[in-house]
Structure 1
């Protein structure tokens, strides 16, 4: 193995698809290779080219880090990926507790009443999160046997990474809107306050 080793989070751009083969823990979109899991970026040298294939490329993959792992507890801040939604709740996969990655994703739920601290009756799930968003939240209850209950009521909690319908990384322009810098389209989100 060769190349640099660096920690990556889901959605992190790793390289160009024309320069590398996409390996495990990655996905390709619009000619770019992205990380699909939390772990370490690894570049594996291409094998010696065979007579029939002179275009062998190095392989980019993400290796899960299992040196130490975390378990969510009440009051801990977590980083999650939104998996699916319904009008009452968003199901998420908890990837990190504080700054420590989880060895495996824990299941969590953000209920509609736990998204904002005020005007809870006006909150709509579709205007807060979308599947694929990366959010910062707080564990408020150990929930049921299947899922932890999470909240994004604090200003610093909410969406920290989102992609637009065009596949571009969006930037927050207010606490409830994100914009695609290329197409200038805006989408509703419950944005985390960045410091």
Structure 2
């Protein structure tokens, strides 16, 4: 069955049907019963527990790609009234050689009070956030969510150029000027806790 797979692929290209014998691997995703490529490269089927894992090898060394459910580290680049654009820099614990585009929609910022969210009070350009990858719905960017307590802003700079310190789940404070700035703050859990 894997002989019908193309040798090379481009992002968004349908590769094969997704079933018990064919599952998506690194560089691929499943949508509506089919496996698609999320990167350009060489199609690399591998046998794992009686199934073919359809993965993509790239020529740029970028073998790690986000899959739905992964936690990513991203830097906010653009803020609008409906969404936030960001560059994904790290997937799980693996830094990326080339950043990927991410999108956080207004309704995916918080789990509660979605109607009252003001994006400019949650993020600012340059902020570093932790976010969860949602199932892929559009090909231009990965859709992300910060609607969990552990997700949101982890690193931000104040207007004075100092690292902000979280003081609540909605505010961070500059240690130099003591001014407070609104953010969707991540509740970071220490590794040794």
Q: TM-score, normalised by structure 2?
A: 0.65
Instruction: For 1:129-140, list aligned pairs within 5 A.
Output: 129-140=123-134
SS at the partner of 1:169?
Answer: coil
> What is the alpha-carbon distance in structure 1 between the residues aligned to residue 82 and residue 126 of structure 2?
18
SS at the partner of 1:141?
Answer: coil
**1:73 paired to 2:82:** no
> What is the alpha-carbon distance in structure 1 between the residues aligned to residue 174 and residue 93 of structure 2?
28
Determine which of 88, 94, 99 is the counterpart of 1:100: 94
Contact map agreement 1:84 1:92 (CA 8 A) in 2:
yes
Determine which of 161, 172, 175 is the counterpart of 2:169: 175
Instruction: For 1:112-131, list aligned pairs within 5 A.
Output: 112-131=106-125
Instruction: For 1:144-163, list aligned pairs within 5 A.
Output: 144-163=138-157
Contact map agreement 1:70 1:103 (CA 8 A) in 2:
no
SS at the partner of 2:161?
Answer: coil
SS at the partner of 1:174?
Answer: coil
> What is the alpha-carbon distance in structure 1 between the residues aligned to residue 63 and residue 149 of structure 2?
27
Determine which of 111, 119, 133 is the counterpart of 2:105: 111
1:50 counterpart residue number: none
Instruction: For 1:35-114, list aligned pairs within 5 A.
Output: 69-114=63-108
> What is the alpha-carbon distance in structure 1 between the residues aligned to residue 182 and residue 94 of structure 2?
29
RMSD, matched Cα: 1.3
SS at the partner of 2:85?
Answer: strand
Contact map agreement 1:70 1:96 (CA 8 A) in 2:
no
Q: TM-score, normalised by structure 1?
A: 0.64
Q: How many residues align?
A: 130
Per-residue displacement from partner, 1:77-105 (whole Å, max 9, x unpaired)?
00000011101100000000100011210
CA apart distance, 1:146: 1.0
> What is the alpha-carbon distance in structure 1 between the residues aligned to residue 142 and residue 131 of structure 2?
11
> What is the alpha-carbon distance in structure 1 between the residues aligned to residue 61 and residue 101 of structure 2?
21
In structure 1, runs of 5+ residues without a counterpart are 1-65
CA apart distance, 1:68: 6.7
Contact map agreement 2:88 2:102 (CA 8 A) in 1:
yes
Moved over 4 A (4+): 66-69
2:178 counterpart residue number: 184
